[in-house]
């Protein structure tokens, strides 16, 4: 959410943000609604003051003057009630419109309509050149009894799965590797809720626009698709101290996504599933653009170091305007090389928001001068598991006989160098 004062004073900047993000929104309608709201607020305040003064005067009056004063108070009460009702209506409209205003993208964000227009920033690792026909992760995992899709579908329905044997052990090994790497960097490990109140999803910007991709319970709670939501809710409504910034969290949670609109896409294997686990990096910092830029680069570097430890070839892309979310100022994606598809597929996203989320969640801090300000927020995938990184890990490290090499960084956690046929 942006400051309404900034919106009133800079409508052209908001219109350009809408253009760049390929969104539609009537900025003038919001400004007009805000003007009506402010007029009504003044009228209500004036009527309340007048009513209070008139009510105080009644105690000092008697006879006809008192009767007349009572009639006046009654009339004021009726007028006040009418104005308050109009104000409630206009406030609701205003609040709904404010939730639809996009954040302003950074000047460095490329122009473009979709992820096809994202621009490569850098690449790491050698694309493997196999002297045999490489197998898909499905073939490899079923060969080594690492997964059961048939029983997964029987139990959990479409896109259900069981990880087992080395499939489960490999996931646990990766989780432990990520935890150890990030704790050494000073990130506070947290296990956060996935079943979360609606207000936190609104605060982080996943609602109202993203409702179709969320699972909702009968108790009006939602299942989160990322640990970012639970982490941001941790400080909701609190006042922090600048001396404690930046606050760096490494959060772990199960994640749930309906994958609405994805029917027919990536229906086989682990590429697109409804339930998985993820390590997420979340940072709260002081309200300084350059600090946000610095921390954003740090988040991406952390994610890259994890991918390098796993020896997975990848590239980093800068997301174009049309591939940014409503609240994102800038975003990088990391895409891992997938031999079975002969292309890169997204595994990570890293974004910064300025105070877009913290205004909604009312997360403030007291600066060195004692002034209350809204914090800045950032987040990035550290690693999702088991979906795409596990696929790339398995496919990129396969050998001609179907065995799977285990990267050196993971060998201490797995207790072996290779997954071979028949191993458990």
pLDDT digits (tens, 9 = 90+) for 266-281: 778 999 999 999 999 9
- Residue 422: the pLDDT is 60
- Residue 57: the pLDDT is 82
Q: Which of 68, 98, 128 is the last residue of a domain?
A: 98
Full domain range(s) for residue 277: 115-419
Tally of structural domains, the chain: 2
Q: In terms of domains, do 144 and 213 share one?
A: yes
Q: Residue ranges for the binding site for L-serine?
A: 226-228, 257, 280, 379, 381
Q: In terms of domains, do 207 and 288 share one?
A: yes
Q: In terms of domains, do 151 and 284 share one?
A: yes
Sequential pLDDT tens for the chain (424 residues): 899 999 999 999 999 999 999 999 999 999 999 999 999 999 999 999 988 888 888 877 777 888 787 888 888 889 999 999 999 999 999 999 999 999 999 999 999 999 999 999 999 999 999 999 999 999 999 999 999 999 999 999 988 999 999 999 999 999 999 999 999 999 999 999 999 999 999 999 999 988 999 999 988 899 999 999 999 999 999 999 999 999 999 999 999 999 866 666 777 899 999 999 999 999 999 999 999 999 999 999 999 999 999 999 999 999 999 999 999 999 999 999 999 999 999 999 999 999 999 999 999 999 999 999 999 999 999 999 888 999 999 999 999 999 999 999 999 999 999 999 765 5
> Which phi and psi angles does 210 have, rounded to 5°?
-100, 20
Q: In terms of domains, do 255 and 331 share one?
A: yes
Is there a domain that residue 318 lies in? Answer: yes
- Residue 423: the pLDDT is 57
Q: In terms of domains, do 192 and 77 share one?
A: no
CATH number for the domain harbouring residue 168: 3.30.930.10
Please give the Cα distance from 125 to 411 (Å, whole number). 20
Question: Is 349 marked active-site?
Answer: yes
Catalytic pick from 48, 66, 79, 272? 272
Q: In terms of domains, do 301 and 390 share one?
A: yes
Question: Is 388 marked active-site?
Answer: yes
Q: In terms of domains, do 139 and 283 share one?
A: yes
Is there a domain that residue 369 lies in? Answer: yes
Is there a domain that residue 165 lies in? Answer: yes
Q: In terms of domains, do 153 and 293 share one?
A: yes
DSSP string computed for 256-308: E---TT-TTSS-STTSS-SEEEEEEEEEEE-S-HHHHHHHHHHHHHHHHHHHH
- Residue 424: the pLDDT is 54
Q: Residue ranges for the binding site for ATP?
A: 257-259, 273-276, 346-349
| Segment 255-262 long-range contacts (CB within 8 Å, at least 24 positions apart) | 255/194, 255/224, 255/225, 255/226, 255/227, 255/384, 256/194, 256/214, 256/215, 256/223, 256/224, 256/225, 257/213, 257/214, 257/225, 258/212, 258/213, 258/214, 258/215, 259/159, 259/213, 260/212, 260/213, 261/212
Is there a domain that residue 104 lies in? Answer: no
- Residue 52: the pLDDT is 84
Is there a domain that residue 133 lies in? Answer: yes
Q: Which of 98, 131, 148 is the last residue of a domain?
A: 98
- Residue 72: the pLDDT is 83
Structure tokens given for 42: 């003044």
pTM above 0.85, yes or no: yes
Q: In terms of domains, do 315 and 270 share one?
A: yes
Catalytic pick from 37, 83, 159, 257? 257
Is there a domain that residue 340 lies in? Answer: yes
Is there a domain that residue 396 lies in? Answer: yes
Q: Which of 66, 98, 130 is the last residue of a domain?
A: 98
CATH number for the domain harbouring residue 16: 1.10.287.40
Q: Residue ranges for the binding site?
A: 226-228, 257-259, 273-276, 280, 346-349, 379, 381
Q: In terms of domains, do 82 and 140 share one?
A: no
Is there a domain that residue 105 lies in? Answer: no
Residue 96: how many CB atoms within 10 A of its CB? 12
Q: In terms of domains, do 41 and 137 share one?
A: no
Catalytic pick from 199, 291, 346, 420? 346
Q: In terms of domains, do 369 and 320 share one?
A: yes
Structure tokens given for 385: 């598991």
């Amino acid at each position: 959410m942006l400051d309404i004062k900034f919106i009133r004073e800079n409508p052209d900047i908001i219109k350009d943000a809408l253009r760049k993000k390929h969104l539609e929104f009537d900025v003038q309608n919001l400004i007009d609604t805000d003007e009506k709201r402010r007029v009504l607020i003044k009228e209500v305040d004036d009527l309340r003051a007048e009513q209070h003064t008139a009510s105080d005067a009644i105690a000092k009056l008697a006879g006809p003057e008192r009767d007349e004063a009572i009639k006046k108070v009654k009339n004021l009460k009726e007028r006040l009630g009418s104005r308050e009702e109009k104000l409630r209506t206009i406030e609701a409209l205003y609040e709904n419109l404010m939730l639809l205003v996009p954040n302003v993208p950074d000047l460095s964000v490329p122009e473009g309509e979709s992820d096809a227009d994202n621009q490569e920033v850098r690449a790491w690792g050698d694309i493997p050149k196999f002297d045999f026909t490489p197998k898909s992760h499905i073939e490899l995992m079923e060969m080594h009894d690492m997964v059961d899709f048939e029983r997964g579908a029987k139990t959990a329905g479409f896109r259900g799965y069981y990880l087992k044997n080395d499939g489960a052990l490999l996931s646990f090994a990766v989780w432990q590797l990520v935890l150890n790497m990030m704790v050494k960097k000073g990130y506070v490990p947290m296990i956060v809720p996935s079943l979360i109140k609606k207000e936190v999803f609104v605060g982080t910007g996943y609602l109202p626009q993203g409702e179709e991709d969320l699972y909702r319970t009968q108790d009006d709670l939602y299942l989160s698709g990322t640990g970012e939501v639970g982490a941001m809710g941790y400080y909701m409504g609190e006042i922090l101290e600048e001396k404690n910034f930046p606050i760096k969290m490494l959060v772990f949670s199960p994640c749930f996504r309906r994958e609405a609109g994805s029917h027919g896409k990536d229906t086989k294997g682990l590429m697109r599933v409804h339930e998985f686990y993820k390590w997420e990096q979340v940072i709260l910092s002081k309200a300084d653009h350059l600090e946000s830029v610095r921390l954003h680069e740090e988040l991406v570097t952390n994610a890259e170091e994890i991918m390098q430890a796993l020896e997975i070839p990848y590239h980093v892309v800068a997301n174009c305007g049309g591939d940014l979310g409503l609240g994102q100022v800038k975003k990088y994606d990391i895409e891992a090389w997938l031999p079975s598809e002969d292309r890169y597929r997204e595994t990570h996203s890293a974004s910064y928001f300025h105070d877009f989320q913290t205004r909604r969640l009312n997360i403030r801090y007291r600066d060195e001068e004692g002034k209350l300000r809204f914090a800045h927020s950032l987040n990035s995938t550290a690693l999702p598991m088991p979906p795409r990184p596990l696929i790339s890990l398995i496919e990129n490290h396969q050998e001609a006989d179907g065995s799977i090499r285990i990267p050196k960084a993971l060998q201490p956690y797995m207790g072996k160098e290779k997954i071979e046929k028949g191993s458990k």
